[in-house]
Amino acid sequence: TGPLRRVLKYLHGTVYLSLTLDTSNLTFMHGWVDASFAVHLDYRSHTGAVLSLGKGGVISVSRKQRLNTKSSTEAEVVGVDD
């Protein structure tokens, strides 16, 4: 199956989910970053991040890190900068 088909299947299965923003506190912004050490075949780590505004997640990113790291701690530091 192609990537487009997977995206459409995901959207069809999550049509009941919604983005919720609390308009009373839109000045509150929070970010989270996490990394998984050496999870790809080329031993690169993976980083994920979410930025929230108020009480709802606004932006999310997930990707393979550009640098090879030597430890999970180093992967976390690279993930914040990546």
Note the pLDDT tens digit of each residue in 1-53: 588 888 888 888 888 887 666 666 677 788 888 888 888 888 889 989 888 87
Given this model, what pLDDT does residue 24 score? 67
In 3D space, the residue among 29, 30, 31, 40 whose CA is nearest the CA of residue 63 turns out to be 40
According to the model, what pLDDT value does residue 33 have? 87
**How far is residue 72's CA from residue 29's CA, in Å, rounded to a whole number?**
27
**For 49-75, what is each residue's pLDDT tens digit?**
888 877 777 788 888 888 888 888 888
Q: Is the pTM of this model over 0.85?
A: no
